[in-house]
């Protein structure tokens, strides 16, 4: 009997290792885990991504999963092509169809991690608008011309000497770079284990006053924030000291992006930065990075900053247990964007 049990455990571990070493296998498993419900599926994001990092039971708050409603009363004319490079603040809340956007005939939405198979030509006869969107905490990582180009133009692989090529081939065959994280997901990212994770999180919180490193509890105790948006030592923090030189440097990168894509035939380049929720939900004054960019770029760049509109009723627009806004917050931004698209010169 012991041998049978040992053999069964060995087979399970071997299958988990093989699956966790396969990119295609992990993509299929991830899709399956998050698509369903029940103890053998994952609830990591069903209650917010910050719940899924902390497993604090008081933040097990069900999220609304449907997309934001399509705005009514948009112009009948469809004379724009809108190209978007953006993150989950958009694709998780707005379906990737042109119906959401004023005057848009064609929508080409690309995530920051998109890998193109061919270079985009931007050849239609309609006016073309490029929208570059990022959450505040990620601006320094993505507002670079080479990052934007990478989602529209294939990047040729680096030319390596033959011995380095062999080395990379052997390494990839023997060891997957994300093996540990993949194994943890394969074996333990199941709703079956959530009660145990919640019990552990509660113990660490109540007894040791310790949360998962990735999260931070609000001063009022009713919201969770990403640690990197709060810690003054993190690049994406709303409280890190940011010099005027850094603001100017960011503006120069944005101007470089704008000049490049205007030369490619775009009629308008828009930038939109989503504020870290902590900067709107907490009374403590932050570094005001977004407003400083807005002021410095006035007259030179078109920047859509929803901060002021969202701040008017911030608790109504953001989840308690997630790092994103909710559907109401997404709609505030969408209405602001559509005001700009309506005004594009014909």
pLDDT tens for each residue of the chain, 346 residues long: 777 766 666 677 666 666 666 677 777 876 777 777 788 788 888 899 999 999 999 999 998 888 999 999 999 999 999 999 999 999 999 999 999 999 999 999 999 999 999 998 888 889 999 999 999 999 999 999 999 999 999 988 777 786 777 776 666 655 666 767 766 777 778 888 899 999 999 999 999 999 999 999 999 999 999 999 999 999 999 999 999 999 999 999 999 999 999 999 999 999 999 999 999 999 898 999 999 999 999 999 999 999 999 999 999 999 999 999 999 999 999 999 999 999 998 8
Fold of the domain built from segment(s) 80-159+233-342: Rossmann fold (3.40.50)
> CB under 8 Å to 206, separation ≥6 — which residues?
none
pLDDT tens profile 124-158? 889 999 999 999 999 999 999 999 999 999 988 77
Percent helix, strand and coil across the chain, each to the nearest 5 = 45, 10, 40
Tell whether the torsion through CA atoms of 293, 84, 335 and 139 is positive or negative.
Answer: negative
Give the tens place of pLDDT for each residue, 74-133: 999 999 999 999 999 999 999 999 999 999 999 999 999 999 999 988 888 899 999 999
Half-sphere exposure of 146 (CA within 13 A, CB side): 4
Q: E-assigned strands of the chain? A: 80-86, 104-111, 127-135, 215-217, 224-226, 268-274, 302-304
Query: Measured between alpha carbons, how far is 254 from 297 in angstroms, rounded to an integer?
Result: 9
Q: Is 36 left (phi over 0), alpha (psi -120 to 50) or beta?
A: beta
Domains of the chain, by residue range, sit at 2-64+169-212, 80-159+233-342
pTM, two decimals, is: 0.89
Exposure string over 152-163, b if 16+ CB within 10 A, otherwise e? beeeeeeeeeee
Classify burial at 71, counting beta carbons within 10 Å of its beta carbon; exposed 0-12, middle 13-18, buried 19 or more: middle
User: What CA–CA distances, in Å, run from 62 to 218, 319, 321?
Assistant: 19, 10, 9
């Amino acid at each position: 009997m012991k041998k049978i049990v040992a053999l069964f455990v060995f087979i399970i571990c071997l299958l988990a290792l093989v699956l966790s070493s396969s990119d295609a296998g992990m993509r299929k498993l991830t899709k399956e885990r998050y698509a369903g419900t029940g103890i053998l599926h994952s609830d990591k994001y069903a209650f917010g991504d910050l719940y899924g990092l902390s497993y604090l039971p008081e933040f097990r708050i069900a999220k609304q999963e449907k997309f934001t409603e399509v705005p009514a009363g948009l112009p009948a004319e469809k004379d724009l092509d809108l190209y978007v490079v953006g993150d989950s603040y958009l694709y998780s809340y707005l379906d990737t169809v042109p119906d959401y956007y004023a005057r848009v005939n064609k929508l080409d939405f690309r995530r920051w991690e998109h890998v193109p198979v061919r270079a985009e030509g931007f050849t239609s006869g309609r006016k073309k608008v490029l929208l570059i969107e990022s959450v505040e905490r990620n601006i320094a990582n993505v507002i670079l011309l080479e990052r934007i180009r990478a989602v529209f133009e294939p990047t040729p692989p680096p030319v390596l000497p033959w011995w380095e090529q062999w080395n990379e081939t052997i390494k990839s065959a023997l060891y997957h770079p994300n093996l540990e994280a993949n194994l943890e997901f394969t074996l333990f990212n199941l709703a079956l284990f959530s009660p145990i994770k919640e019990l552990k999180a509660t113990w660490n919180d109540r007894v040791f006053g310790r949360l998962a490193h990735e999260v931070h509890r609000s001063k009022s105790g009713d919201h969770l924030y990403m640690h990197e948006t709060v810690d003054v030592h993190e690049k994406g923090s709303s409280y890190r000291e940011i010099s005027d030189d850094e603001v100017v440097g960011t503006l120069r990168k944005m101007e470089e992006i704008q000049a490049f894509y205007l030369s490619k035939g775009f009629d308008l380049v828009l930038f939109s930065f989503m504020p870290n929720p902590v900067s709107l939900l907490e009374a403590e004054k932050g570094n005001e990075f977004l407003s400083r960019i807005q002021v410095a770029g006035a007259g030179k760049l078109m920047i859509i900053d929803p901060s002021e509109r969202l701040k008017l009723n911030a608790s109504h627009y953001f989840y308690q247990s997630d790092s994103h806004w909710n559907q109401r917050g997404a709609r505030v931004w969408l209405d602001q964007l559509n005001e700009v698209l309506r005004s594009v010169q014909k």
